[in-house]
Structure 1
């Protein structure tokens, strides 16, 4: 196992870092869940009446499987809608106890399906489609609920709801008698009396979160909560009016009065208020005053105040808090000495920043600032707890997919983490996959954001393409194609996107190459070429666009056909005419046409006077060494291999072009180094059998002689593996081929024999 780079801190409470056990392969259970999530019909079928999904007969899923499937569905950005929720309508064969919806579009009838499982925990997250009828459902099925969270944008308590309540003479909003934890976030424009009615029947609460709620008055609504241990009043206004009510909650162990809004940061007499709270609540072990002035100025008001730089906490010096939130407090309280707490959320150092990230993971505004701090730490300083930092960034990005600034800060930090830990990542397959999936999640949602796309592409460049990314192949292709086609022309994102796409295209085979064409690679490249031609502009993007099509069409007839169907030959001629002095461009274009010419059923598209004249003229080209001339000869050889009857044009004549090809071949240096990569010699070896046109054989044997001479370690084995030596021997023994052709064939056989019998051990010893 490689050395663990996480350097765990005994003071940072976090899950096992990503790099611990980094060589452990992905769990089979995770693989199974991802497979089922992508293909729900493997366990489900569609009902005839509603058309919704339901479990197949004979399948029964325990609670652990059902909850995990729901969670995986959210994490993978798949739809959690009525169709999916209907799977859980069968309460005999599916079971749910804890449901966290996060951001979803479920409706009231979907919520009824979920609540019918007698849930213990329900987090509605951001579910804007739910109505006040959901409240009735919570009452109907709420007897089992222990935890309920109503997130932002979930408006199940509309402004008029309290008025309706008065008319029907109810004394409760909803009933959930066993509820222990309740979070109501961003409830606005309701009177203080609403909260009294809401909380009245919830006397067993131990945890209450009223973040961003307004009009709480003096907080008299919590006076009857005798078992309350945690009270969160994040971004609640006028908290100074609530201090008397807070101080009566003697059972509190955690209090959060933190702020991010400038107008509510300053409390009158902050030292007095903090002292009052701390000395009234003796059971507090966790206190969050981030973003406020409650920590004072750091200057002791009296001699007796000495012992802590935070005057209001002087009574806790001998009994420090477990956690103290001091992030963005006025006068930089987190930088002071003698802070009575084991864990401090602040920005004084790396530990404080990581603790802040964990503490404020649910708070996008604060989390964004913390991630910016983390980014600067990785960019300009040395990070000690890389494993924990990576955990924090990945969790933040996956939890807040639609928050642009979090995605940008997170992806920028990931770039520096990946760049600085390439060795550790080499064996950590599951860590790499986690990073790549997280990046693609963010890039998919924020694909129109130049900064996000740039950060994502730059980070992806740090991985091994395609080896590390094949598990997310289609999503990556879709994102890159959008970067190429949907982003600003000539932007950095477009440029890096097409380079990544080309790197991917040149190293994949078979179905993946076909799929690349199906996803629109050819269309997008043609669009790029057209756009450059319209402006008369030749740059590296234009050259790489042709290179990408060259790679995508290699041994892939379907993509060759797409090139022709998208008027590729017209663009070839236009580029040839407009950019005559661009060697790399011409080489890439001719390499692509070589792939097209290898497809027998497509060759007739190339047999026109104009195209054949161009190919014939290019035989004399000196561009890029012999590459353009070589590729032109390859195209002509494949066309001619179909016999004289296939050459259906009078000018240029077949024999004239073949004679020019022989002259070109004889002028090439057999020791020329090549800018080409063959993965198979099958098309070339097929030309060895074309005895009716020895010129085709001439090009084929020259190509093999050159490649086995210059790159014997790469191509000698390939010739033998694909049966080339047998065909060459047959050619040598055949009476028809000219001596010059047999001479080249003999060179190939000799090159392969020498390579096979070479004393490599002697070379190494020497």
Structure 2
């Protein structure tokens, strides 16, 4: 029915994308497949290749995929693909909120378009009206919506003769030359008061069945509507002073849907509301849908009773209460399909006896979700509806979270610039995402939610409430899997949040946690991207800020953890750390917070990554730094982690040989003494120690197995492998096998000069991997053993 436009549900595309959509998306992303492209830097330079024709369904689907699946804004460049109406076909197109201009519209209207939507297309000018009129004979449905600027020239030069109501003038005058038009939507058009513009507009459109003049002013006369003999749906939302036109409206006998709702208080009061509503209902026998939201037409709520002669049988002597809305009492036995009561005076939607099957209001969840569906194109209503929906989630439970998700996403996408809608919508999303429907989210649904939140965050990045809502919602997704498709944009907005000194500290804490989660399990290219966006510099600023305030909190610890993650096997980020005075801040943190185990572990993990980069190791070879690393060999902080990382750093430094040590002008610390202390620490560790470390590759460790001149470095490497394959065989036996580690260990067993303990540990690794293989979880491992 008219009051319930069919809104696309995110739950519909629950299965994988169709082959057609996949092919269309590929062709749109690689236009050279179907188009000749003269220049990629200029518009209107691509044309369909010779011999290619696109059917009607494919052309319209291309526009749908481009907007809905690829999340791109339609503009003239895309429409240029359809400039040949012989080889391409368009019939039903909706360009709301797009960037098309008169040029693109002209291309589209070369086709025999029957349905056209151009609401909120700011690029269209008065010329578009001429283009529409030139193709107007085929158009059956026209949604101009808020693109009322196409009428500006007509308003400027409108002649008074257009208000002539004579039959002779009427046959020669038009604003829209669309004689077969069935549906017209026009919103927010303000015209000069001296002209009866709307009468002139509508008189020639005699085939209209649906008319929407929401917020159009001034509507001086509605008598011309009587000539629209096929009219079944009329929307006069926010049209002022309707009380004087009630008699006219009551003559539209074929109306099935009537909307006379209001959002402003100045126009919503009727002098005799019960009588007027009764007159409307009694006069329109086919009425099934009525919206009186925001008015007083529902009366005060005093029940009316039928007198005996008014009862259905004419014999009843008992007056039975039929309706809590006096003007609707005669519909008690024939209830309306829909009744709009949102924001009516005297809280009409809370009454018990309402003769309607579906009601928009705020009395309960059903009414609120109904209102959200009906008023998706009215932001002033929608914001209130979303606030009511949030209160349902906050103070109770929502019985229909699927529909709630649909209406929230539609509202947020449609009104991205409306901050109040974004805040209210994101607040409800928080409860939906962590609710019982979460296990049923498909990939498409997750992407839809994440992209909607990111759009809102980027648009309203200065609003703390918006960012808080979004971050708290995102935290319920699996990182990075659920968000990897928007990796760059999410990195950008999270870095922006954490870089703001005046930001809500809780939001900053959640944001840096999300950023760290993003960086934790991604490849080198994505780690470099995070560094390219300035992550290292921002983390160092956060650390310096905390040091100045002498605060060691979760933000400080996570800042070091984030740098630990994004420097992993990413030399350029390691260099950025050193260039940003990272070592100076390391020493200050060590001195200021010496007992913070988590902080120390994160810092040493980061320096372990730096030490793996050969070109950067000379910058670590100072007396001060080496003294710190040597001292930390004896640390029992966080189990073995700090001591383990200190030994790893020293192993990599020592792997450069005696010459590098001597060239660094280190005089107090002797290389041999440091290496002995390192072996002593290693042998103190328990091989069964559980670890708080995650290796994506053993390549840096395996490199140390080749360092024959410094067996101490080999010792640390094989101990690390022995520990990890013993405690986590399901992960690290497979990783070691895939990277050729077994072969390297076997070669190590045959090398002269390798001392006994190293060989014992190497055999242990091989045996642990063999045992794991024998359990049926790993491919064959060589039996060779010395």
Q: Give the TM-score normalised by structure 1.
A: 0.89
- Paired with 1:601 and 1:572, the residues of 2 have a C-alpha distance of 20
Could you tell me whether the CA contact under 8 Å between 1:235 and 1:258 is conserved in 2?
Answer: yes
- Paired with 2:118 and 2:174, the residues of 1 have a C-alpha distance of 20
Deviation at 1:649, TM superposition (A): 0.7
- Residue in structure 2 matched with residue 7 of structure 1 by the alignment: none
- Paired with 2:244 and 2:286, the residues of 1 have a C-alpha distance of 22
Query: Does the C-alpha gap of structure 1 residues 16 and 216 become closer, same or farther in structure 2, counting only changes over 3 Å?
Result: closer
Query: Does residue 704 of structure 2 align to residue 687 of structure 1?
Result: yes
Query: Does the C-alpha gap of structure 1 residues 21 and 74 become closer, same or farther in structure 2, counting only changes over 3 Å?
Result: closer
- Residue in structure 2 matched with residue 764 of structure 1 by the alignment: none
SS of the aligned residue for 2:477 comes to coil
Q: Deviations over 1:583-640 (max 9, x none)?
A: 3222212211211222334434433444434433433434333322221221121122
- Residue in structure 2 matched with residue 366 of structure 1 by the alignment: 381
Q: 2:201 aligns with which of 198, 205, 213?
A: 198
Query: Does the C-alpha gap of structure 1 residues 171 and 531 become closer, same or farther in structure 2, counting only changes over 3 Å?
Result: farther
Q: 2:328 aligns with which of 297, 313, 321?
A: 313
Query: Does the C-alpha gap of structure 1 residues 558 and 40 become closer, same or farther in structure 2, counting only changes over 3 Å?
Result: farther
Query: Does residue 563 of structure 2 align to residue 549 of structure 1?
Result: yes
Deviation at 1:239, TM superposition (A): 0.8
- Residue in structure 2 matched with residue 379 of structure 1 by the alignment: 394
Show structure 2 runs of 5+ residues with no match: 163-171, 311-320, 778-786
Deviation at 1:756, TM superposition (A): 5.3
Query: Does the C-alpha gap of structure 1 residues 50 and 468 become closer, same or farther in structure 2, counting only changes over 3 Å?
Result: closer
Q: 406-415 vs 717-726, which deviates more?
A: 717-726
Query: Does residue 79 of structure 2 align to residue 64 of structure 1?
Result: no
Query: Does residue 480 of structure 2 align to residue 466 of structure 1?
Result: yes
SS of the aligned residue for 1:183 comes to strand
Q: 2:351 aligns with which of 309, 322, 336?
A: 336
SS of the aligned residue for 1:420 comes to coil
Q: 2:277 aligns with which of 274, 278, 287?
A: 274
Aligned residues: 747
SS of the aligned residue for 2:323 comes to coil
Query: Does residue 629 of structure 2 align to residue 615 of structure 1?
Result: yes
Q: 1:251 aligns with which of 241, 254, 258?
A: 254
SS of the aligned residue for 1:157 comes to helix
Could you tell me whether the CA contact under 8 Å between 1:466 and 1:504 is conserved in 2?
Answer: yes
- Residue in structure 2 matched with residue 174 of structure 1 by the alignment: 176
- Residue in structure 1 matched with residue 685 of structure 2 by the alignment: 668
- Residue in structure 1 matched with residue 415 of structure 2 by the alignment: 400
- Paired with 1:670 and 1:38, the residues of 2 have a C-alpha distance of 53
- Residue in structure 2 matched with residue 435 of structure 1 by the alignment: 449
Query: Does the C-alpha gap of structure 1 residues 107 and 486 become closer, same or farther in structure 2, counting only changes over 3 Å?
Result: farther
- Residue in structure 1 matched with residue 754 of structure 2 by the alignment: 737
What are the residue-to-residue correspondences of 1:41-60 with 2, within 5 Å?
Answer: 43-44=34-35, 46-48=37-39, 50-58=42-50, 59-60=52-53
Could you tell me whether the CA contact under 8 Å between 2:236 and 2:261 is conserved in 1?
Answer: yes
Deviation at 1:243, TM superposition (A): 0.9
Could you tell me whether the CA contact under 8 Å between 2:298 and 2:345 is conserved in 1?
Answer: yes
Q: Deviations over 1:536-558 (max 9, x none)?
A: 44321121111112112223334
Q: 620-629 vs 326-335, which deviates more?
A: 620-629
Could you tell me whether the CA contact under 8 Å between 1:44 and 1:53 is conserved in 2?
Answer: no
SS of the aligned residue for 1:436 comes to helix
Query: Does the C-alpha gap of structure 1 residues 128 and 720 become closer, same or farther in structure 2, counting only changes over 3 Å?
Result: closer
Q: 2:113 aligns with which of 95, 102, 119?
A: 119
- Paired with 2:741 and 2:105, the residues of 1 have a C-alpha distance of 67
Q: 459-468 vs 743-752, which deviates more?
A: 743-752
- Paired with 1:284 and 1:380, the residues of 2 have a C-alpha distance of 37
- Residue in structure 2 matched with residue 655 of structure 1 by the alignment: 672
Deviation at 1:141, TM superposition (A): 2.4
What are the residue-to-residue correspondences of 1:99-178 with 2, within 5 Å?
Answer: 99-152=93-146, 154-158=148-152, 161-166=154-159, 171-178=173-180
- Paired with 1:138 and 1:15, the residues of 2 have a C-alpha distance of 27
- Paired with 2:5 and 2:396, the residues of 1 have a C-alpha distance of 23
Query: Does the C-alpha gap of structure 1 residues 167 and 129 become closer, same or farther in structure 2, counting only changes over 3 Å?
Result: farther
Deviation at 1:458, TM superposition (A): 1.7
Could you tell me whether the CA contact under 8 Å between 1:286 and 1:321 is conserved in 2?
Answer: yes
Could you tell me whether the CA contact under 8 Å between 1:296 and 1:331 is conserved in 2?
Answer: yes
- Paired with 1:575 and 1:78, the residues of 2 have a C-alpha distance of 46
SS of the aligned residue for 1:245 comes to helix
SS of the aligned residue for 1:469 comes to helix
Deviation at 1:273, TM superposition (A): 1.0
Could you tell me whether the CA contact under 8 Å between 2:361 and 2:371 is conserved in 1?
Answer: yes
Query: Does residue 234 of structure 2 align to residue 235 of structure 1?
Result: no
Could you tell me whether the CA contact under 8 Å between 1:135 and 1:156 is conserved in 2?
Answer: yes
What are the residue-to-residue correspondences of 1:477-496 with 2, within 5 Å?
Answer: 477-485=491-499, 488-496=502-510
Could you tell me whether the CA contact under 8 Å between 1:356 and 1:370 is conserved in 2?
Answer: yes
SS of the aligned residue for 1:271 comes to helix
Deviation at 1:274, TM superposition (A): 0.9
Deviation at 1:229, TM superposition (A): 1.2
- Residue in structure 2 matched with residue 183 of structure 1 by the alignment: 185
Q: Give the TM-score normalised by structure 2.
A: 0.87
RCO higher in 1 or 2 (8 Å CA, sep ≥ 6)?
1
- Paired with 2:504 and 2:423, the residues of 1 have a C-alpha distance of 21
Could you tell me whether the CA contact under 8 Å between 2:372 and 2:385 is conserved in 1?
Answer: yes
Deviation at 1:533, TM superposition (A): 4.1
Query: Does the C-alpha gap of structure 1 residues 39 and 568 become closer, same or farther in structure 2, counting only changes over 3 Å?
Result: farther
Could you tell me whether the CA contact under 8 Å between 2:258 and 2:289 is conserved in 1?
Answer: yes
- Residue in structure 1 matched with residue 16 of structure 2 by the alignment: 25
Q: 495-504 vs 473-482, which deviates more?
A: 473-482
Query: Does the C-alpha gap of structure 1 residues 485 and 143 become closer, same or farther in structure 2, counting only changes over 3 Å?
Result: farther
Q: Deviations over 1:78-120 (max 9, x none)?
A: 3433433433334344332222222234333333233333322
Could you tell me whether the CA contact under 8 Å between 2:480 and 2:521 is conserved in 1?
Answer: yes
Q: Deviations over 1:196-248 (max 9, x none)?
A: 22222222211111101121123234333222111101011111011122122
Deviation at 1:132, TM superposition (A): 2.1
Could you tell me whether the CA contact under 8 Å between 1:487 and 1:493 is conserved in 2?
Answer: no
- Residue in structure 1 matched with residue 85 of structure 2 by the alignment: 91
Could you tell me whether the CA contact under 8 Å between 1:207 and 1:230 is conserved in 2?
Answer: yes
Could you tell me whether the CA contact under 8 Å between 1:326 and 1:345 is conserved in 2?
Answer: yes
Query: Does the C-alpha gap of structure 1 residues 292 and 37 become closer, same or farther in structure 2, counting only changes over 3 Å?
Result: farther
Q: 583-592 vs 229-238, which deviates more?
A: 583-592
Could you tell me whether the CA contact under 8 Å between 1:183 and 1:208 is conserved in 2?
Answer: yes
Q: 2:599 aligns with which of 560, 574, 585?
A: 585
Query: Does the C-alpha gap of structure 1 residues 486 and 466 become closer, same or farther in structure 2, counting only changes over 3 Å?
Result: same
Deviation at 1:396, TM superposition (A): 2.3
Query: Does the C-alpha gap of structure 1 residues 731 and 301 become closer, same or farther in structure 2, counting only changes over 3 Å?
Result: closer
- Residue in structure 1 matched with residue 459 of structure 2 by the alignment: 445
- Residue in structure 1 matched with residue 292 of structure 2 by the alignment: 289
Show structure 1 runs of 5+ residues with no match: 1-10, 761-766
